[in-house]
Amino acid sequence: ASIVFVNTRETAESLGLGMIPFNKDFEVRVHHGSLSKEVRETTEYEFKTGKIKGVISTSSLELGIDVGNVDLVIQYHSPRQVSRLVQRVGRSGHTLHEVAKGVILASGTDDLLESMVISEKAVKGELEPITPYEQPYDVLAHQLVGFVLDVGKSSLLDVFNVFRRAWAYRNMSLKILENISTFLSDLKILLVKDGTLLKTRTTRKYYYENLSMIPDVKTVPVYDIASGRQIGSLDSSFIPKLKTEETFVMSGQPWRLVSIEENRINVERLKDSSACLPSWLGELIPVPFEVAQEVASLREKVAKWLSGELVACPLDNYPIDEESKRLILEVISSHIKEEVLPTQNNILIEKIPGSLIIIHACFGNLVNEALGRLIATILSLRTGISASLSITPYHIILSSEASIDLNELADIIKSMKEDDIPLLLSSIKNSSLYFWHFLHVAKRFGVLEKNAEYTQGILRKISRLFEGSILEEEVIREILKEKLDMENVKRIISKINSGKITIHFTVRLHPSPLARDALEQVNKELVQPKTPATQIAKMVKARLLKEQVKLVCLWPSCKGWESLRTVETLPEKIICPKCGGSFIAVTYPDDQSGLSRAIRLKRQGLPLSDEDAKALKRGLEIAKIISSYGKKAVICMAARGVGPKAAIRILNKPCRFEDDFWMAILEEERKYLKTRKFWGN
């Protein structure tokens, strides 16, 4: 039995899809956190009992789950951290006298070199150091409230003496405790009176609503607009990063975002064979600074061997296959013939057509994230050019609609000072990264309700109210701890200023060999089976024919007829069974206050309100269309967001084949979903 560990849910789904043709002989399941608990537990049970021999998993099978006897662990792509590799490979060889066995399947030069460095560190036992949080303010606030609940009326000095015994707060000053107590008092969670802490009516509620420091992430269902079925769900934390027309992968299929509503995301399956994954790259496990630096050092050693400076090939010290060795030598050899090799002490800035700048910087994800944001901020302040940012452990990629001057950019990097770091912090406070952390820290402090959801615009306004507060300070501290490596950024800036790190730049018609590796990481493609229009049309047809509608006769002499019908059961020409008329409108099934009410008032000779008159006018327009086009018109009106004008567009559109009709409806639904947020009530 084998576990294939991957770094993202998309990769798990993609590999699972690719294994379908082989499932008859070797059934493989997918396991990750976005699948339902029932699906995960079934997979775990069948794998443990031997019913299935393979599982493709993210970190969801790393810890705390008994997976039975595993013969081999396969890591697909670099594990990115030494501790990850050790933990994952350690899932195998759990029986007596066996040892853990693992294989890394890498792709690309950087991925190969990174996997080699991490493997060597794992064998030597060089794990990443654990750096616990120092004085987390939100945890302190919660524990302070718990202390008062447990002990009752307490003096600040007594609380201070108790809390200083905890390692994380060993260096805490009394001033910090006073500030947090005052903050909680302002929120009416505690009462501070003459240096004494007292309970309030909301003390207990706050404490028990915030027992966990793990962010509660809301998931939003994702619907295929063609079939109307739910295909999965996305964490709300990803939604601010998604833009209309952006593509992503779910359930092993490529999808394009159509619209985001309050409680659902609407997507359509792509017709072409590829989907880019820009939105998810930033969620990968960060590669540490030390690993990236060793990869740079290994590059340099390979280059020296190629130039004859070293006798033994440095790759011979690693357990890699000949094909991997050949690829590394080929790429580095090609690169050093064309450009300076990016290493620990060389930064290469490469400009290629299309306003794309690739900064080769071997400093790991957290350093490159900080450096990239700082460079983009200074570039914007100096030139007014806004550049989008993509990061790998070895590259900072800037793209902009306007052309970025290479000399200007080189000067920005060379002239960066430690004094510029506040600019980075200022720009972060306007980013989606900041607002996401603000949301969860504010909930842990009791500023926001635990289950509340807020748009980024509202969070921006709320965050402004807490500028300069201990809440804002904790948000920034959390981001600096989890997302940015500021200590190493300072060291890099110092080395650039002193000339220990040299800046090189080049203009190219095509990406250099090492740049191609970067672009493949940022725009990684998943090749999927093409979904023909015929299949999509069938899904639209199946959905709309199952829709239920209410038919209402508007013929003046009719005494009133309404009927709930499924679209599929309707005849081609629709006739009222009471009066024999064909002047029939369609409305939604539970319509009581719209068209149904308006026609009742009209027949009774009672006055119509503006809303009633509007509903009746719309009904008359629909009845005219149905009178002319019959069942086809009802089908159009059953579609989401299709009104009389859109229905006329569909019905008047030349359709050579039946599929053309269903695809025309889908296109109108898509327009509606994309523009709905701009419509009035």
The per-residue pLDDT for range 575-587, each reduced to its tens digit, is: 999 888 999 999 8
Beta bridge partners of 56: 4, 30
H runs (alpha helix) in 499-561: 513-522, 533-545
The yes-or-no verdict on residue 241 having pLDDT over 60 is: no
Domain definitions of the chain by residue range: 2-105, 137-209, 219-281, 339-522, 533-678
3-state secondary structure (DSSP) of residue 198 = strand
The yes-or-no verdict on residue 253 having pLDDT over 80 is: no
Nearest to 108 by CA among 601, 414, 511, 515: 515
Instruction: Report whether 672 contacts 640 (CB < 8 A).
Output: yes
Radius of gyration of the chain, Cα coordinates, nearest whole angstrom: 31
As its CATH architecture, domain 2-105 has 3-Layer(aba) Sandwich (3.40)
Beta bridge partners of 504: 348
The yes-or-no verdict on residue 507 having pLDDT over 70 is: yes
The yes-or-no verdict on residue 657 having pLDDT over 80 is: no
Nearest to 120 by CA among 328, 318, 327, 294: 318
Confidence of residue 341 (pLDDT cuts 50, 70, 90): very high
The yes-or-no verdict on residue 392 having pLDDT over 80 is: yes
3-state secondary structure (DSSP) of residue 190 = strand
Per-residue pLDDT, 362: 95
Per-residue pLDDT, 276: 39
In one-letter notation, the amino acid at residue 584 is I
CA distances from residue 547 to 484, 567, 630 in whole angstroms, order as listed:
51, 6, 16
Confidence of residue 95 (pLDDT cuts 50, 70, 90): confident
How distant is the alpha carbon of residue 525 from its chain centre?
Answer: 16
Per-residue pLDDT, 529: 37
Task: Report the alpha-carbon distance of residue 219 to residue 522 in Å, rounded.
Answer: 25
Per-residue pLDDT, 432: 79
3-state secondary structure (DSSP) of residue 655 = coil
Averaged pLDDT, 335-363: 90
Higher-confidence position of 526 and 39: 39
Per-residue pLDDT, 52: 82
Averaged pLDDT, 125-142: 90
Burial 214-234 (b: 16+ CB within 10 A, else e): eeeeeebebbbbbbbeebbbb
Residue 417 CB neighbours (<10 A): 10
Per-residue pLDDT, 278: 30
The yes-or-no verdict on residue 282 having pLDDT over 60 is: no
Backbone angles phi and psi of 206, in degrees to 5:
-60, -45
Per-residue pLDDT, 522: 60
Mean pLDDT of the chain: 84
Per-residue pLDDT, 99: 85
Question: For 135, left (φ over 0), alpha (ψ -120 to 50), or beta?
Answer: left
The yes-or-no verdict on residue 281 having pLDDT over 70 is: no
Per-residue pLDDT, 183: 92
Residue 405 CB neighbours (<10 A): 15
Task: Report the alpha-carbon distance of residue 178 to residue 569 in Å, rounded.
Answer: 72
Per-residue pLDDT, 621: 93
Higher-confidence position of 91 and 64: 91
The yes-or-no verdict on residue 224 having pLDDT over 70 is: yes
The yes-or-no verdict on residue 143 having pLDDT over 60 is: yes
Q: What's the CATH class of domain 137-209?
A: mainly alpha
Task: Report the alpha-carbon distance of residue 134 to residue 165 in Å, rounded.
Answer: 13
Q: H/E/C letters for each residue in 440-501? A: HHHHHHCCCCCCCCCCHHHHHHHHHHCCCCHHHHHHHHHHHHHCCCHHHHHHHHHHHHHCCC
Tokens of 351: 């400009």
Per-residue pLDDT, 359: 93
**2-105 and 137-209 share one CATH topology?**
no
Per-residue pLDDT, 338: 92
Q: What percentage of the chain carries pLDDT values higher than 70? A: 88
Per-residue pLDDT, 71: 84
- Burial class (CB within 10 angstroms; exposed 0-12, middle 13-18, buried 19+) of 467: exposed
Instruction: Report whether 439 contacts 431 (CB < 8 A).
Output: no
Nearest to 256 by CA among 240, 276, 228, 283: 276
Nearest to 668 by CA among 644, 650, 651: 650
Q: What is the pLDDT of residues 430-453, one digit of tens each?
A: 887 888 889 889 999 988 887 777
The yes-or-no verdict on residue 339 having pLDDT over 50 is: yes
Tokens of 640: 């989401």
Nearest to 264 by CA among 295, 229, 291: 229
Tokens of 230: 């739910």
Q: What is the pLDDT of residues 17-55, one digit of tens each?
A: 677 666 566 778 888 776 666 777 888 888 888 888 888
